[in-house]
Amino acid sequence: MKHIIILGDGMADWPAESLGNKTLLQYAATPYMDKLARMGRTGRLMTVAPGFHPGSEVANMSVMGYNLPKVYEGRGPLEAASIGVELQPGDMAMRCNIICIEGDNIKNHSAGHITTEEADVLIQYLEEKLGTDRIHFYTGVQYRHLLVIKGGNKQLDCTPPHDVPLKPFRPLMVKAGVPEAQETAELINALILKSQELLAEHPINKKRIAEGKDPANSIWPWSPGYRPQMEPLAEKYPVIRKGAVISAVDLINGIGYYAGLRRITVQGATGLYDTNYENKVAAALEALRTDDFVYLHIEASDEAGHEGDFKLKQFTIENLDKRVVGPVYEAVKDWDEPVAIAVLPDHPTPCELRTHTAEPVPFLIYYPGIEPDNVQNFDEVACVEGSYGVMKEDEFMNEFMTASALHND
């Protein structure tokens, strides 16, 4: 049996008064997800281990069954993998935002949503001026870049810049979490201040200011870590001899890299509501022909949740149902080699809250021959009655990868 996980990022939500106290998954028309819930079995999954923030990287690693306290190394190392930077033992990687400082305050975490093209010039300039045998800057995407420090101590207290708009930056600079990290903290803070001197005079920023745009006038490194000790999925689940990941999001592609999944890049995958669903489904089906496992990640509903836009989020959920879950099910249902399908969000992104929460998410598992439970719909409320109950850690992945194998005769 082959396996596909269809992940609707941030799809879970809270009941809303404007929807008659329904959640969006209850309110939206999702005939295919409901059908698979009806024919399959359901439950809920804790995707955020105690003490972790409900980030997409945390939640998606949990969905794949990784033990967060053991493997979590922050965003830096995942993004390093996504942009092709191979971390050596002792290399500390950090997400390095390029941000806008106004006066002494952080104006925004994205340097006014700078383009990758402009940011690349600035990052290369910083690498030329501040890079050493020990320190390297790498261009990522838009405002999201990478700083690697050889022999850095990751026990640092860093502040994500998107959490502190309009706050004075100096008190928020890097602090050592333990005395041994003092040298690393001082090194990073010196880089922040030097980057401000260098970037203030850069022609790209002079041009941006002249055009009324925010200058990208400081780096802001955070989320440090080393290369994660993640065992490839194939080692834990022999049924996965070959697997693939399809996502428009760097962090997810980075997880896929360490999980030993090959990355499939899809034309027109934007991470937004206008993403090319058809190309993603076609790529997933093609991968299922040759591989045993596909992780198909769709970002759109999370973005709609962050925007607090109920109508848009409903649209993204209905698109996931009609343009992803439906076509995948219809395509594989008659294959000689059966395909097990799981559908779930990574975490809720309630429109009302506009950010992630750590509550358990509903999931469904369907494969030919599965004994269905009594749940008739796929949503946060119906799945409370699901026969899997509330799962945690690698229980969902173990169930999905092994239970179906019993039917594989």
Q: Using a CB cutoff of 8 Å and minimum separation of 24, what contacts does 20-24 make?
A: 23/379, 23/380, 23/381, 24/310, 24/313, 24/314, 24/317, 24/351
Q: Which of helix, strand or coil describes residue 361?
A: strand
What is the DSSP pairing of strand 91-102 with strand 262-263?
unpaired
Q: Which residue, 6 or 156, is less far from Zn ion as judged by CB?
A: 6
Among 289, 290, 298, CA closest to 248? 298
Exposure b/e, 104-113, CB count within 10 A at least 16 = b: eebbbbbbee
Could you give the CA distance from residue 99 to residue 205 in angstroms, rounded to a whole number? 12
The least distance separating Zn ion from the CB of residue 12, rounded to whole angstroms, comes to 10
Q: Which residue, 91 or 302, is less far from Zn ion as judged by CB?
A: 302
Could you give the CA distance from residue 392 to residue 399 in angstroms, rounded to a whole number? 11
Q: Which residue, 152 or 348, is less far from Zn ion as judged by CB?
A: 348
The least distance separating Zn ion from the CB of residue 345, rounded to whole angstroms, comes to 8
The least distance separating Zn ion from the CB of residue 95, rounded to whole angstroms, comes to 16
Radius of gyration over every alpha carbon of the chain, rounded to an integer in angstroms:
22
User: Helices marked H in 259-321 — which ranges?
Assistant: 277-290, 300-306, 310-320
Could you give the CA distance from residue 296 to residue 299 in angstroms, rounded to a whole number? 10
Where do contacts with Zn ion occur on this chain (CB under 5 A)? Answer: 9-10, 56, 302, 346
Q: Which two tokens stand for residue 160?
A: 């994500």
Could you give the CA distance from residue 187 to residue 323 in angstroms, rounded to a whole number? 49
Unique residue bearing structure tokens 């699901």: 386
Q: Which residue, 10 or 40, is less far from Zn ion as judged by CB?
A: 10
The least distance separating Zn ion from the CB of residue 295, rounded to whole angstroms, comes to 13
Q: Which residue, 73 or 302, is less far from Zn ion as judged by CB?
A: 302
Q: Which residue, 63 or 106, is less far from Zn ion as judged by CB?
A: 63
What 8-state DSSP symbol labels residue 360? -
The least distance separating Zn ion from the CB of residue 309, rounded to whole angstroms, comes to 16
Residues 59 and 347 sit within 8 Å (Cβ to Cβ): yes
Residues 216 and 186 sit within 8 Å (Cβ to Cβ): no
Q: Which residue, 7 or 122, is less far from Zn ion as judged by CB?
A: 7
CA distances from 400 to 43, 53, 386 (A): 12, 25, 15
- Residue with CB nearest Zn ion? 56
The least distance separating Zn ion from the CB of residue 359, rounded to whole angstroms, comes to 13
User: Helices marked H in 230-341 — which ranges?
Assistant: 233-236, 250-258, 277-290, 300-306, 310-320, 326-332
The least distance separating Zn ion from the CB of residue 143, rounded to whole angstroms, comes to 19
The least distance separating Zn ion from the CB of residue 18, rounded to whole angstroms, comes to 23
Could you give the CA distance from residue 231 to residue 51 in angstroms, rounded to a whole number? 22
One-letter amino acid of 282? A
Q: Which residue, 251 or 328, is less far from Zn ion as judged by CB?
A: 251
Q: Which residue, 62 or 184, is less far from Zn ion as judged by CB?
A: 62
The least distance separating Zn ion from the CB of residue 296, rounded to whole angstroms, comes to 14
The least distance separating Zn ion from the CB of residue 141, rounded to whole angstroms, comes to 17
Q: Which residue, 292 or 346, is less far from Zn ion as judged by CB?
A: 346
The least distance separating Zn ion from the CB of residue 54, rounded to whole angstroms, comes to 8
Q: Which two tokens stand for residue 224?
A: 């440090």
Q: Which residue, 127 or 309, is less far from Zn ion as judged by CB?
A: 309
